[in-house]
Structure 1
Amino acid sequence: MADSFRLQFSLIKRVLQFRFDAGTSRGVLKTREVFWIKATHPDFPERVGWGEAAPLVGLSPDYREDFERVITAQLEKLAQETWAEDLDSVLHQVKSRVPFDLPSLRFGVEMALLDWIQGGIKKFFPNPFYDQKKPILINGLIWMGDRDFMLEQIDQKLKEGFDCIKMKIGAIDFEQELALLSYIRKQYSKDQIILRVDANGAFSPMEAMNKLGQLAELDIHSIEQPIRAGQWAEMRKLCRETPLPIALDEELIGTKEKELLLDTLKPQHIILKPTLLGGFLETQQWISLAEERGIGWWMTSALESNIGLNAISQLASSYDPKIPQGLGTGKLYHNNLASPLEIEKGQIRYGDRLWENPA
């Protein structure tokens, strides 16, 4: 094969059906649209690279009614590009060709190209998750809902062997949420079960510090995005004075000034969602800047299908993470793409099952 090549791109849409009403701070999700990007070359018909563009309602900069039309036009332009076989060069080329405000498309194109270059085997670059079938620790996610629904989820996750639980808060009365967290903490110490909470910006700046103090009494590992994004002065103060570590999530989305954000707010952790940040390269850059500053991080999926989840898992694995990642979303859908991804005892692994053909 030549050192450079052109590829053809096509698009497949699937509407994923949740197994339950997935409560978030932005409403209840019942379905989820994803767009699978197929990369092919006429001289190598058996080799197919797959990517996924999956903008998330209420969060993704590229969530828009005309998304399918916009990305179809972008893929037509990309079909005129000449690509090198060097993985790093490809990532930088995608960054220069796909607009910053289309982060999920960037990620999907990166995936499809890297998969095709690697032989069309759902691998993107060397990583222990794929190459050695090394599992990744993950947290068990507790979705928003009424008290009984959340309690049922907690019991199920503990039964399944998770030793890191992440609970979304801000949907029901805060005292009830504290009671649910206390329920876990009375059974398990912080050395037995790691507790994370995700407020999705639900607290007001006025009430946030008081609530952080109450959460800290339960030995909470961290809280994601206690107040809504964009309130830098208030968030900086919280990060400086907080009694428990703060992890920024929505704050990163759509932000070009990475260094300015990290140096101004000085968070204890950041949450990395490649679909929302713009893919492999953008996420790698966030990690590099965070590690230079002693800021912790972990990676989280953003309700992608198994194609996207596989890519995020491989990216996380390439850093050999020692703390649980947020990669437990593969079982959310009735009609997810069948894949080798397996979740068992608080870990995700790449098993032996064959991939379902997305077409």
Structure 2
Amino acid sequence: PMAKAVLEMAFYDLYAKALGRPLWQVLGGVRREVEVGVSLGIQPSLEETLKVVEAHLKEGYRRIKLKIKPGWDYEVLKAVRRAFPEATLTADANSAYRLADLPRLKRLDELGLDYLEQPLAYDDLLDHARLQRELSTPLCLDESLTSAEKARKAIELGAGRVFNVKPARLGGHGESLRVHALAQSAGIPLWMGGMLETGVGRAHNLHLATLPGFTKPGDVSSASRYWEEDLIEEALEAKDGLMPVPEGVGLGVHLKLPFVERITLWQRYMSAS
């Protein structure tokens, strides 16, 4: 899917440029900036976790997502909730739990999480549906959403109440638009995920996140959190929890060609014949 996404999303950029319109308009977007949150990994200590959360809230991020695992979940989230009672707080388990962990996961209902992301195995929609019936906290599907067909099955089963859309994993904008349509018809809110994209992929994600179904802050945070130098000339940086969508026709960003050439390790040219 990722190899397909590279080509397909480039064609969307080219198509928008041929029309003389920004990509977000071609995709059906309705806004010029996107609400963003931040995803924070497991820290060395609870004290460090609180410091990192506070720092990112001061930067204006609209949602804090904490990675969790068995033994690093309830007490950590409870401490963060106590310290920052008004923060939009979520947890991402990356499939670290089993259905047998229901008593542990049920305790999270006390903490007012906006959602619990991917608690169980990516290929087990049935157990996610069973777990969702037991929890008041909405489940968010991430790794489980590999296609629009998987999204349709998740909706039919009731396996989650929130969807994380990652265009690279879905194979590009076309499949992402199909997931968006299914989610909207089912009343399921979306947010834009990230897969450590450089500026080109990050810009594509921002354009797609302008669609009306993306109502929750996403993971498209500032590029400077990940890269000392990005591949594009434009700085994709969040301010007060908002990321502006690149302006101009098509994708609206320009490659730093000398930098790209400098870091290129291997090339292969293929003809269409």
Q: 1:169 to 1:337 in 2, by over 3 A?
A: same
1:136 is the counterpart of 2:34: yes
Match of 2:84 among 184, 188, 192: 188
Q: C-alpha deviations, 1:206-245, integer Å up to 9, x for none?
A: 01x2222221211111001111122233222112221210
CA distance in 2, matches of 1:242, 1:131: 33
In 2, the alpha carbon distance for the partners of 1:180 and 1:129 equals 40
Out of 330-339 and 267-276, give the one that drifted further. Answer: 330-339
Larger mean CA deviation between 249-258 and 215-224 belongs to 249-258
- In structure 1, the residue matched to 2:57 is 158
SS where residue 179 of structure 1 aligns?
A: helix
Q: Could you tell me which of 275, 292, 308 is aligned with 2:185?
A: 292
Structure with more contact order per residue of length (Cα contacts < 8 Å, sep ≥ 6): 2
Q: In structure 2, what is the Cα distance between the partners aligned to 1:256 and 1:285?
A: 9
Deviation of residue 149 (structure 1)? 4.6
Counterparts of 1:237 and 1:301, CA distance in 2: 27
8 Å contact from structure 1 (residues 298, 324) kept in 2: yes
Match of 1:197 in 2: 91
- Residues 12-57 of structure 1 deviation map (CA, whole Å, 9 limit, x = unaligned): xxxxxxxxxxxxxxxxxxxxxxxxxxxxxxxxxxxxxxxxxxxxxx
In structure 2, how many angstroms separate the alpha carbons of the residues matched to 1:213 and 1:219? 12
The number of residue pairs the alignment matches comes to 250
Q: Distance in 2 between matches of 1:181 and 1:268?
A: 21
Asked whether 1:262 is paired with 2:155, we answer yes
Which residue of structure 2 aligns with residue 224 of structure 1?
117
TM-score, length of structure 1 as denominator length: 0.62
The structure whose residues are more often helix, as a share, is 2
Q: Kindly provide the amino acid, as one letter, of the partner of residue 218 in structure 1.
A: L
Q: 2:142 aligns with which of 249, 260, 267?
A: 249
AA at the equivalent of 1:347: L
Q: CA deviation at 1:348?
A: 1.1
Percent identity, aligned pairs only, is 23
Q: Distance in 1 between matches of 2:77 and 2:21?
A: 38
Equivalent residues of 2:35, 2:216 under 8 A apart: yes
How far does residue 113 in structure 1 lie from its aligned partner after superposition? 1.4
Question: For 1:145-197, what per-residue CA distance to the aligned partner results, in whole angstroms no more than 9, with x for missing partners?
Answer: 32255333212112212231111111x732xx4333233322333xx311011
Q: How does 1:42-191 map to 2 (within 5 A)?
A: 103-119=1-17, 123-126=22-25, 134-147=32-45, 148-170=47-69, 173-174=71-72, 177-189=73-85
Superposition deviation, residue 256 in structure 1: 4.0
Q: Which one has the bigger strand percentage?
A: 1
> What are structure 1's unaligned runs of at least 5 residues?
1-102
Q: CA deviation at 1:351?
A: 6.3
Amino acid across the alignment from 1:197: A
Change (3 A) 1:233 1:126: closer
In 2, distance between residues paired with 1:178 and 1:264?
27
Q: TM-score, normalised on structure 2?
A: 0.80
Cα deviation, residue 312, structure 1 = 0.9
How large is the RMSD of aligned CA atoms in angstroms? Answer: 2.9
User: Within 1, Cα distance between the matches of 2:131 and 2:213?
Assistant: 30
Q: Would the aligned equivalents of 1:227 and 1:235 in 2 still touch at CA under 8 Å?
A: yes
C-alpha displacement of 1:128:
10
User: Are the structure 2 counterparts of residues 118 and 351 from structure 1 closer, same or farther at C-alpha, using a change threshold of 3 Å?
Assistant: closer
Q: Deviations over 1:286-332 (max 9, x none)?
A: 11112222222222111111110110110111327442122115221
Bigger shift: residues 307-316 or 177-186: 177-186
CA distance in 2, matches of 1:333, 1:113: 26
**Contact 1:107/1:278, CA 8 A, preserved across alignment:** yes
Query: Aligned equivalents of 2:173 and 2:228: distance in 1?
Result: 28
Gap runs ≥5 in structure 2: 261-273
After TM superposition, the structure 1 = structure 2 runs for residues 316-355 of structure 1, keeping only pairs within 5 Å, are: 316-319=209-212, 321-328=214-221, 330=223, 331-338=225-232, 339-350=234-245, 355=254
Task: Write the letter of the residue equivalent to 1:357.
Answer: K
Task: Give the counterpart of 1:307 among 200, 210, 219.
Answer: 200
